[in-house]
Structure formats: C-alpha cells, structure tokens
C-alpha cells in the first residue's frame, strides 16, 4: 500500500469504530469505476472490516451482477427504477446470477430517483415486497434533476416530504430504506428529519452510514470524514493513472526519434 492508501485504510477503520461507517460504495453506473480501481477499493474495504455496496448499471445489468458476485458485494442496488415491471426485470436478472441460497446472504435494493419513479412508488414498493427484495434507496440528486432543479435543492422541504413518503411505504412493508445523493455535513438536519420515518442507512458517493448515528454529534464529523475519504481516493486514482501514462514516455520519445530519422 502507498501512503494515501494507508491513510484511507486508517480513516475507514476509525470511521467504522467511531463514526457509524457500515459500507464502502462503488458504482458501475454514474461513477463508472474500472476493474483495477475496484480491486484496490475492495482491499481497503475488507481490511477495514466493512461491507461492499455496488450500484449496478441498470435493472438488467447481468454482467455487472456477475462482477458484483465475484467481488463479494454484500449489497447491490439497481438504479433508475420507474415501474413495477423494472423491479421484475431486476429480480429476473438477480435470479440468473445468484442461486437461491446465495441470495439469502445478499441485500438487493432498488433506487427510486426520478419523479416518474416517485409517482409509481406504491406499485414499485408493493412489487419489491412481493419479490422479497430487501428495500429501496431514494436518490436525491437525480430526483432533483428529474424535476429540473439543482442538486443544491436536495435539502428543501418538498424533496424531504417525498423521501419520507417513500420511507413510510417501506416501513409498512417491513423493507429497508436508505437515502443518498448530495449527502454531506450540511444534510444532517434533513437526515434527522428523515430518520423519523424508518431510515436504515444514508450514503455518500463512497461511504454508507448506519442511520442511527445521525441523531448524535458525530454525524457531522462522520460526513466530513466521508468527504475526506473520497478526496484521498480521487488523489490516489489520479496518481495511479498519471504513473501509468508516464511509464512509456521515454520509449515513446525514442520511437518518435527513430521514425523521424528513418523517414528523413
């Protein structure tokens, strides 16, 4: 491990012990994490004794599900679910990849993150329960985007009201409920309000938290540390690809000189 990775590992261990960290997250969807990156992330995750969440690329992303299975993800999230039929397609894909016994050890959740998904929330949550999936995640940033408003509006009361409605539906069906999208230290008051309606977990881009910590003073510091982890992760990623790019520069220059000399 390099210096940045050691710092990230220490941060994750402290986050698990003191700040409510439960999972490290990776996305095949919007983040587009690459295979060599996710292998480094998995080592950090499992060394810190945390679980892995993978957000796949869609409800029928079978290849992503196969990768998630190989990588040992404990939680899988299907994005952009806007109908009960999309839930069915996700279930069919899961059943292709995971045997019945394997499914017992994995949490499978769907993401409601558009106004269309919200308007179909009752049918979607009914189908999630009927298919014995684990629960639902509400994605705030994409939801704001679907309304034509900015991500900075994610903490506004009209967004929080809709989140709580989906949370109550999950509670009625005994399903897990989580929230993500634009979660940072400024979101703590909003998260405390949502926590009153069955919130199990809240998530930043890279870190998931046990929702129970949001009622404590550590919630603010935990989200700052989650942002610091992502900052370190991106710095390490940039260094990695910079080094890859640089490793062949001398040979490139030599070949350029050779080609120019022979062509002269």
- For 250, the enclosing helix (H) or strand (E) is helix 249-263
Q: What tokens does 262 get? A: 């022979």
- The answer to whether residues 81 and 111 touch, using CB atoms and an 8 Å cutoff, is yes
* pLDDT exceeds 90 at position 226: yes
pLDDT grade for 196, boundaries at 50, 70 and 90: confident
Mean pLDDT computed over 251-257: 85
- For 197, the enclosing helix (H) or strand (E) is none
Question: What is the Cα–Cα distance from 21 to 226, expressed in whole angstroms?
Answer: 9
Which pLDDT tens digit goes with each residue over 167-188? 999 999 999 999 999 999 999 9
* pLDDT exceeds 70 at position 207: yes
Phi and psi at residue 129, in whole multiples of 5°? -65, -45
Whole-model pTM: value is 0.91
Which pLDDT tens digit goes with each residue over 89-140? 999 999 999 999 999 999 999 999 999 999 999 999 999 999 999 999 999 9
Q: What percent of the chain has pLDDT over 70?
A: 100
Which pLDDT tens digit goes with each residue over 25-82? 999 877 778 888 899 999 999 999 999 999 999 999 999 999 999 999 999 999 999 9
Q: Residue length, the chain? A: 264
Predicted pLDDT of residue 166: 97
The chain-wide mean pLDDT, for the chain, equals 94
pLDDT grade for 251, boundaries at 50, 70 and 90: confident
Angle at 5 between CA 109 and CA 232, to 5 degrees: 70
| Of residues 24, 78, 15, the one with CA closest to residue 51 | 24
Question: What is the Cα–Cα distance from 22 to 138, expressed in whole angstroms?
Answer: 18
Question: Is 3.20.20.60 the CATH classification of the domain at 3-263?
Answer: yes
Predicted pLDDT of residue 264: 63
Predicted pLDDT of residue 39: 92
């Amino acid at each position: 491990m390099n210096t940045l990775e050691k710092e990230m590992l220490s941060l994750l261990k402290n986050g698990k012990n003191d700040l409510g960290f439960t999972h490290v997250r990776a996305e095949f969807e919007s983040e587009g994490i690459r295979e060599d990156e996710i292998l480094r992330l998995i080592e950090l995750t499992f060394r810190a004794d945390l679980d892995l969440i993978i957000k796949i690329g869609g409800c029928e992303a079978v290849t992503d599900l196969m990768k998630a299975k190989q990588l040992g993800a404990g939680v899988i999230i299907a994005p952009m679910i806007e109908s009960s039929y999309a839930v069915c397609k996700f279930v069919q894909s899961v059943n292709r990849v995971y045997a019945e016994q394997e499914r017992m050890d994995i949490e499978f959740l769907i993401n409601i993150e558009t106004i269309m998904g919200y308007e179909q929330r009752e049918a979607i949550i009914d189908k999630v329960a009927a298919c014995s999936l684990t629960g639902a995640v509400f994605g705030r940033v994409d939801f704001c985007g679907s309304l034509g408003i900015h991500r900075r509006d994610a903490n506004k009361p009209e967004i929080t009201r809709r989140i709580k409605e989906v949370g109550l539906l999950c509670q009625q069906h005994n399903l897990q409920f989580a929230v993500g999208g634009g979660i940072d230290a400024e979101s703590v008051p909003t998260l405390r309000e949502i926590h009153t309606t069955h919130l199990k977990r809240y998530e930043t881009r890279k870190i998931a938290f046990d929702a129970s910590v949001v009622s404590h003073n550590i919630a603010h510091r935990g989200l700052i540390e989650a942002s610091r982890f992502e900052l370190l992760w991106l710095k390490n990623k940039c260094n990695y690809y910079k080094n890859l790019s640089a490793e062949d520069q001398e040979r490139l220059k030599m070949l350029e000189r050779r080609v120019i000399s022979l062509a002269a």
